[in-house]
Amino acid sequence: MSNGTTTLVAAGVLLAVLTGGRQLTSRSPAAPRDPLLASLAVPSSTPANRPAEEPIGFATHVLPILTKAGCNSGACHGAATGQGGFRLSLLGYDPQQDFLNITREQSGRRIDLVSPVDSLLLRKPDRGLPHKGGMKLESGSADHAAIAAWIAGGASFGPPDLRVAAIDVSPADVLLMSTDQSVQLKVQATLSDGRVLAVTNHALYAPNDPAIAEASVGGKISVRRRGTTAVMVRFGGQVAAVRVGVPRRDAPLAAADIDFEPRNYIDQAVLSELQRQRVPPSPLADDAQFLRRIHLDLIGRLPTPSEVRAFVAQPSTPASRRKVIADLLAQPEMPDLWTLRLADLLQVDSKRLGDVPARTYHQWLREQVATNTPFDRVVRELLTAEGDMATVGPANFHRIARDPRDTAEAVAGTLLGVRIACARCHAHPVAAWTQDDYYGFAAFFARTEQAGNRVTAIDRGEVLHPKTNKPVAARLLGAAASLTDAPGIDRRVALADWVVSPGNPMLARVTVNRVWRHMTGRGLVEPVDDLRPTNPPSNPALLDALAADFIANGYDVRRLIQTIAESRTYQASSISTDANRDDDRLHSHAFVRPLAPQVMADAISQATGVPDDYPGHAAGTRAVQLIDARTPSETLDVLGRCTRETGCDQESAGGGLSQALHLINGKSINGKLKGGSIEGLIKASTAVEPVIDELFLRTLSRFPTKNEKDYCLKKFAEAAGRREAAEDLLWVLLNTREFGFNH
C-alpha cells in the first residue's frame, strides 16, 4: 500500500488497483502481456477516459474466471440452493443475476471498492478467510488479479448486450507421436462487438476421458496412454472441443499391413483415419459371413440354406455382393425391419396413442419406407401434420409428449441429434444451449392443440420463461433472432423449413449417424442423439461426407443404406487382429453385436421351422412386423424389446443372465425343437452328414468346419437316435454366441 494505491503483480504484469480515487500502472518490460488482464488493467488516464470501443463486461471478462475456478459448479455455489448463503447460476448461465448477487446482495458486502483484494469475492477463494470450497483463486495469479482489477475499476456490469459470441481453439485436432509429448492450446474469444481476446489462461479445460488425456489449468494437453479422446474447452458460455490422441503403435502402417481396397468415399475416410491412428484393418469377411450379416441388417432374417449354398458356390466378387444388396433392398421384408426401427424411435405405442391411431401411424411409416419417400419430406409431414390421429398417421407424432417443453426435447433429440433437457433449468454443462434457447425452441410447439384424437394448429398459446414469467418468442436453436409471428402463421411450418433446409445439416447428420449405427453396431457419435462440439465423432470427415452425400441425393435413405453396405468398411471381417483388437471406434473390423429382440425371435422361429403365435395377429406373423410393442410375448420381453415409453435408438439390451437362462431352459427354444425343421430333415435323409450341414446352415448360415463335423458325427453315433441327436445339436447351435450375434 503506497499513496492509497495497491499494486498487484500477476503473471509478470504489474497492475495498479484503483483505491481512494488514485491509480498507478506499470508493467515489467520483459513480461508477457495477458490480453484479458490488459483489458482489465486500470489505464493511466482516468477510468472515464477508457476508450468506448473497448468496454469491459462482467459476463465476458469476470464470470468466465469464476466458472474456470469451479465457483459456479453444481458442487459449489452453482447448486440449486447455492452454498453458504451465496448462490450463482450454474456455469454462469444467468450473468445479470450473478452480477446482482455479487455486487448488491447483502448490501454489497462481497466486494470492496476501497480495497479490492480484501473483497470477500477474493478472500474466500484465496483462503484469506475460511472457505469450505478450499483454494479456488490463488493470490497473485492472473485470474485473481483480473477480478481485483475489475473491482478496482468500479465493478460494473458493462454493456448489457456484450457477450462472448464464439470461441476458437487451435490446434483443433492433435495427434501426438508418443505419451511423453504435450501440446499447448491457444484459445481466442470473439465478443459480440467484434473484439477478439486471447483467453487461453482463463478458459476451462475438461478431457472427456481423463485416462487418455489430461489438461493443465493453462491449456497444456498431455496424454497418458494410447488412444483418442476429446478435451472440452469452455469460456463465457461457449464450448468447443479438441480431438487429442496418440497412435495405437509407433511405426506407420506398411503396405503389407493394409489389405483394404477402398470401394467408395466411406472407405477413403476410414482408411485415412486408420493410417493416421496406425491401426491396420482386418481382412474382408468371407462370403458366408457377409451373406448372414447383410440379411440380418437389411431384412432382419437369416439367409436360407439354399441362399447360402448358391452364394458361396459362385465366384466371390464385389459385383456379386452388390447384387445381393440390391436384391435385399427390393424385398418386401426390408420395410418391415426399417419400419420397426422408426416405430421404436418415434414411440408408436397403443397405450399412448390408442389402438387405431397406432395402427394408422405404423401403416403410414411403413408406406414411407416402402416407397422410399425422401426423409426430409417425411420429417416435414411429421412436424406439420394436423387432423384426426385415427386417419392421419403423422399427426400422431405430436402425441410424443403433451407439453411443449417435452415435445421440444423429443424433437431436438430425434430430428436434430441434440440433447437440450439440461437447459430447461440452467445452461447446458457440456453444450452451448441456454434457457433462452430452450424456451425459444419450445415456443414452436405452444400453439399445437390436442383435443381428443385431433391435432390442430391454433393462433394462441405461449411458453413462459421461468425467469421472467413472460411469453417467449419462438426461436430456432442457435439463432440470434426470434421468429416474427403473424396471424394465421403456423410456427411449425417455419420450424420444418429450417429442419429440412439443406443449409442446416443437423437432420442429415443425426440420420446418417443412426443408419450407420444400425448397419455397423456403433455410431460415429455415441450416443447417437448427442451430436455436440464437445462429443466429436470418431471420424469427423466420414460423418461430414455421409451427411453431405445424403443431402445432395435428396435425403434418400435406401441409397444411404446401399452406399454403406457396398463399402469395404461394412464388409470387413469381425475377426480382429493382434494389432486392432483394442479398436472400438475406428471400424478397423466389424463389430460383433447382439441381434435385436425381434430379429432374434424371428431367427429362432426360422431355424426351428416353428413360428411364434402372437395374439391378435395372423399365423406366421414375424416379430419385426408387430405394430405394437405391447403385443404379449414373454420371449420379446426377456430379449429386451423397446417398450416405446421413450424413443429407442439402441436395438437391443442384449445378453444378460435372464436372457441366457430363458434361452437355455425356456420354451422359446425348447418348445420348438420337436417337429418343425427337425422332423423334415430326419425324413428327407437317412444319412447323418446332410442333417448336420443343414442345421449349421439354418442357424449359423455356414457349413461346419472339419472339427465341428467330426465332433457332431461322434455325438450322433453315441445318441439313442438321429432325431434326439438332431434336437440336441439344434439346441446347442441356437444357444451359441455365434447364433445370437451379428458378426
Last-in-domain residue among 246, 273, 289: 246
Is residue 285 in some structural domain? no
Phi-psi category of 36—alpha, beta or left, where left has phi over 0 and alpha has psi -120 to 50?
Answer: alpha
> In this structure, how many other beta carbons lie within 10 angstroms of the beta carbon of residue 638?
20
Is it the case that residue 348 has pLDDT exceeding 90? yes
604 and 737 in one domain? yes
The length of the chain in residues reads 743
Is it the case that residue 25 has pLDDT exceeding 50? no
Is residue 314 in some structural domain? no
Angle at 160 between CA 157 and CA 165, to 5 degrees: 105
Is it the case that residue 547 has pLDDT exceeding 70? yes
Residue with cell 408408436: 348
Confidence of residue 501 (pLDDT cuts 50, 70, 90): very high
Is it the case that residue 13 has pLDDT exceeding 70? no
Last-in-domain residue among 198, 227, 246: 246
Of 629, 566, 565, the residue nearest 596 (C-alpha): 629
Give pLDDT, residue 480. Answer: 78
- Domain extent at residue 463: 374-499
27 and 141 in one domain? yes
Element at 547 (helix H, strand E): helix 540-552
Give pLDDT, residue 51. Answer: 45
Lowest mean pLDDT across 50-54, 282-286, 641-645, 682-686 = 50-54
Most confident of 52-66, 127-141, 618-632, 655-669: 618-632
Segment 417-426 mean pLDDT: 92
Q: Which three cell numbers stand for residue 162?
A: 456484450
Segment 21-40 mean pLDDT: 44
Confidence of residue 55 (pLDDT cuts 50, 70, 90): low
Give pLDDT, residue 9. Answer: 35
Is residue 275 in some structural domain? no
Segment 559-584 mean pLDDT: 96
Element at 238 (helix H, strand E): strand 238-246
Mean pLDDT score across all residues of the chain:
90
Most confident of 90-94, 143-147, 709-713: 709-713
Pairing between β-strand 387-388 and β-strand 220-223 as defined by DSSP bridges: unpaired
* Residues 221 and 215: beta-carbon distance below 8 Å: yes
Lowest mean pLDDT across 20-24, 261-265, 470-474, 497-501 = 20-24
169 and 144 in one domain? no
Give pLDDT, residue 37. Answer: 58
Is it the case that residue 94 has pLDDT exceeding 80? yes
Element at 167 (helix H, strand E): strand 164-170
Give pLDDT, residue 653. Answer: 52
Confidence of residue 1 (pLDDT cuts 50, 70, 90): very low
Is it the case that residue 203 has pLDDT exceeding 80? yes
Start-to-end Cα distance in the chain: 74
Segment 331-343 mean pLDDT: 98
Is residue 169 in some structural domain? yes
Rounded Cα–Cα distance for residues 287 and 279 (Å) = 24
606 and 483 in one domain? no
Segment 264-271 mean pLDDT: 98
Of 726, 630, 632, 720, the residue nearest 674 (C-alpha): 726
Check the CA dihedral 555-399-383-451 and report its sign.
positive
Paired strand residues for 230: 243
Is it the case that residue 16 has pLDDT exceeding 60? no
Is residue 565 in some structural domain? no
457 and 406 in one domain? yes
> What percent of the chain has pLDDT above 70?
92
Give pLDDT, residue 412. Answer: 97
Residue 470 CB burial class (10 angstroms; 0-12, 13-18, ≥19): exposed
601 and 474 in one domain? no
Segment 561-569 mean pLDDT: 99
Secondary structure class of 206 (helix, strand, coil): strand
Q: How far is CA 409 from the centre of its chain?
A: 14
Segment 707-722 mean pLDDT: 95
Segment 301-323 mean pLDDT: 98
- pLDDT single digits (tens) 427-452: 788 888 889 999 999 999 999 999 98
> What percent of the chain has pLDDT above 90?
73
Angle at 527 between CA 233 and CA 651, to 5 degrees: 175
Is it the case that residue 93 has pLDDT exceeding 70? yes
Segment 406-413 mean pLDDT: 96
Pairing between β-strand 6-10 and β-strand 13-17 as defined by DSSP bridges: antiparallel
Lowest mean pLDDT across 4-18, 181-195, 362-376, 531-545 = 4-18
Segment 727-743 mean pLDDT: 96
Residue 449 CB burial class (10 angstroms; 0-12, 13-18, ≥19): middle
Residue bearing the bigger pLDDT, 564 or 668: 564
484 and 406 in one domain? yes
Of 545, 551, 511, 555, the residue nearest 531 (C-alpha): 511
- 236: CATH: 2.60.40.1080
Is it the case that residue 2 has pLDDT exceeding 60? no
Residue bearing the bigger pLDDT, 292 or 236: 292
Show the 3-state SS of 74-90: CCCCCCCCCECCECCCH
Preceding omega of 690 cis (within 30 degrees of 0)? no
Is residue 622 in some structural domain? yes
Please tell me the total count of domains within the chain.
4
Is residue 258 in some structural domain? no
Rounded Cα–Cα distance for residues 152 and 19 (Å) = 7
Is it the case that residue 4 has pLDDT exceeding 60? no
Confidence of residue 35 (pLDDT cuts 50, 70, 90): low
Last-in-domain residue among 451, 467, 499: 499
* Number of alpha helices (DSSP H) and beta strands (DSSP E) in the chain: 29, 17
Determine the residue type at 222: S
Confidence of residue 3 (pLDDT cuts 50, 70, 90): very low
223 and 120 in one domain? no
Of 113, 114, 91, 93, the residue nearest 104 (C-alpha): 113
Segment 539-565 mean pLDDT: 99
Rounded Cα–Cα distance for residues 50 and 59 (Å) = 19
Q: Which residues contact 178 (CB under 8 A, 6 or more apart)?
A: 246, 250
Give pLDDT, residue 620. Answer: 93
148 and 168 in one domain? no
Rounded Cα–Cα distance for residues 606 and 615 (Å) = 19
Give pLDDT, residue 487. Answer: 75
Q: Which three cell numbers stand for residue 483?
A: 421468429
Confidence of residue 464 (pLDDT cuts 50, 70, 90): very high
Confidence of residue 211 (pLDDT cuts 50, 70, 90): very high
Is residue 510 in some structural domain? no
45 and 119 in one domain? yes
138 and 23 in one domain? yes
Secondary structure class of 475 (helix, strand, coil): coil
Residue with cell 486471447: 198
Confidence of residue 23 (pLDDT cuts 50, 70, 90): very low
* Residues 513 and 543: beta-carbon distance below 8 Å: yes
> In this structure, how many other beta carbons lie within 10 angstroms of the beta carbon of residue 719?
16
Confidence of residue 402 (pLDDT cuts 50, 70, 90): confident
Is it the case that residue 208 has pLDDT exceeding 90? yes
pTM of the model: 0.89
Give pLDDT, residue 39. Answer: 59
179 and 81 in one domain? no
Is it the case that residue 180 has pLDDT exceeding 80? yes
- pLDDT single digits (tens) 114-156: 999 999 999 999 888 899 888 999 998 888 998 999 999 999 9
